[in-house]
Structure 1
Amino acid sequence: MGNKRIRKNSLKKNIQAKHSRVLQRCILSLKIISVAAIVALTCLFFVFCYSFITQCDYFRLEKTTITGIKILYFEQVMAQAGIRKNSNILSLNLPLVRKKLEAHPWIAEAEVRRALPDKIIIRITEHTPLAALNLGHKFIMNNKGKIFKKMTSEDHFNFPIINGLKLSDFSLINNQKSIQFYSIMDVLQLGRRPESILSYRFMKRIEIDRELGLTIFASMDGSDRQKKIILGYDNYLEKFKKVEEIIYCLKKNSMFSDFNTIDLVNLDRVVVTPVTIKPTTLKIKKEI
């Protein structure tokens, strides 16, 4: 009899334990379902709020301010940004807009931000063109020595054409540029100085000889005739000053007021080839 009672009590305990485990599982499932329902409702609430805000007329784009453009037009920037008229400014993906803008060849950097409730502010940093490189096709180099676009018929700029540079001059080992690259940059930057007698605006063409150095062809009097200035390598600041001295001396000379060529490769032996003046033949009409 005692054994039967023990077995019955044990059986009851097992059944109660099973019921308890089932109940706990049901409670846990209800909690999980409740939490999931709360999360889902919260998400739906935020989706509704986002949809409401991004479609609200209060945040509709009314004004776009663009600063920093000198080459591009307002309409070009807006088209590149992909911003439609009357867009909701909160619906715009600003990082994506910035990436679109910086994909334009003339845009070096772009910054885009909102000004609530209805304004977008865009700040553009354009490339500053410095020279055209003849590498089979013509490419435009900026003032930092970076090639940023292929030259097209739409690029109407009066900057010098560089012949003789190679792509390898821009990317040598350890990111070091070649002596030809640095020579070109030095000469162009000197020519951009306001006080420079050999102004950047006068430079039409720069030829690079890998052994002998740089030669500038410049139109200094506004005519089509180009003067040849052989610089070679190094000491460009001193050579620019020497050109200024030579021009000053020539202007004071009644016989040779202009030059065709100045050879400045050796500053201790500067060679100047003056303009040859053809003698004028006078025809005298004899009276009978």
Structure 2
Amino acid sequence: MNRIRKPNRRKRRPARTVLQARLGPKQRKRLILRRIASVLLILAGIGAVGGAGYYAGTRLALPFLSADSRYALRDIVVDGTGRLPRKEIITASGLRVGQNLLGVSLPEVYKAVSSLPYVQRASVRRVLPDRIEIRVEERVPLARVVTKAKRFSGRNLCVDYQGVVFVARKGEVLSLLPELEGVPSDDLEIGNRLATPECRAALRLLGLLQENPSMRNLLDPAVVDVSGRLCLKVVSRDGVGIVLRLDHLERQMRRLQKIYAFSQSRGRKVASVDLTPEQNVPVIFEY
């Protein structure tokens, strides 16, 4: 009697690949190291090809392009100048019409233009085939710096919104700017930033007054003295002496506004006010 064999319903396990096989710690480590080595070899090959291309482009092609008259510099565009003459920037850049455009070092031009004391920011761009564009942002004087240091004798020192000290240009009108007095001589260097807390607070105050016309009408400083300890001594253009703390300048301006409003309602003129105390602010009236 023939027996009918039942089909073997057990599923055959698929053959394991090398990656699916169970590996010991040492084998896994070797596999990982091989993969890392493969990736590094690929990256090294890409770098070698790129380096060869760069070498070929700079060492071999550049001499031929340097002799091509199509890449001669014909136009130097200077943008962003107001008080600073265009000729002065071009002279500082060292660029000259007719030189090969591809031979110009943009980092060197940028460094030369940025080193001008009146330039706050600069950017240089090469535009093929024959133009270079220079864009500058000039320093805007915020205050005059008054000092008795002999090394600055005969120089009109100014400070911009970032606190950088620079020499004002000849003929520039500075009479309307407030004077910054009492800056420590050790902290005063052309091209450096004023770093003392009093100087930084004075710059914040002057910037705040510039940005808020209503506050500027309230306080138009003629002199800001930073020689005090943790305070500013301000003399307004109408002769009022005001002492301020270094912090919470906006809140102190609001308190000063209330004091002025009170004095006007009483028909009196403020001679001096000390805003450093939190309460019982000392106020002296002229009449």
TM-score where L is the length of structure 1: 0.63
Q: Structure 2, unaligned stretches of length 5 or more?
A: 1-57
2:251 to 238, 262, 277: 238
- 2:182 corresponds to 1:164: yes
Paired position in structure 1 for 2:141: 129
Using the TM superposition, give the Cα deviation of residue 238 of structure 1 relative to its aligned residue in structure 2, in angstroms.
Answer: 1.6
2:200 to 176, 182, 192: 182
2:275 to 255, 264, 279: 264
Paired position in structure 1 for 2:49: none
- State the Cα deviation string for residues 75-107 of structure 1 (Å, max 9, x = none): 222222232345443343322222221221111
TM-score where L is the length of structure 2: 0.63
The verdict on how the C-alpha distance between 1:113 and 1:179 changes in structure 2, with shifts beyond 3 A counting, is closer
The verdict on how the C-alpha distance between 1:176 and 1:198 changes in structure 2, with shifts beyond 3 A counting, is closer
Contact 1:193 1:199 survives alignment (8 Å):
no
Note the aligned Cα RMSD (angstroms).
Answer: 3.4
Aligned residues: 220
Larger Rg: 1
Letter in 2 for 1:150: V
Letter in 2 for 1:128: V
- State the Cα deviation string for residues 23-58 of structure 1 (Å, max 9, x = none): xxxxxxxxxxxxxxxxxxxx99757514422xx0x3
CA distance in 1, matches of 2:218, 2:88: 29
Paired position in structure 1 for 2:221: 203
Letter in 2 for 1:105: P
Contact 2:194 2:200 survives alignment (8 Å):
no
Q: Which runs of 4+ in 1 moved over 4 A?
A: 43-48, 167-171
The verdict on how the C-alpha distance between 1:45 and 1:266 changes in structure 2, with shifts beyond 3 A counting, is closer
Seq. identity, %: 20
Structural mapping, 1:17-28, within 5 Å:
none
CA distance in 2, matches of 1:68, 1:201: 32
Paired position in structure 2 for 1:49: 64
Instruction: Report the structure, 1 or 2, having the larger strand content.
Output: 1
SS in 1 for 2:211: coil
The verdict on how the C-alpha distance between 1:85 and 1:252 changes in structure 2, with shifts beyond 3 A counting, is farther
- State the Cα deviation string for residues 193-226 of structure 1 (Å, max 9, x = none): 225524699222111343472111122xxxxx43
SS in 1 for 2:225: strand
Contact 2:65 2:71 survives alignment (8 Å):
no
Paired position in structure 2 for 1:144: 162
CA distance in 2, matches of 1:127, 1:200: 26
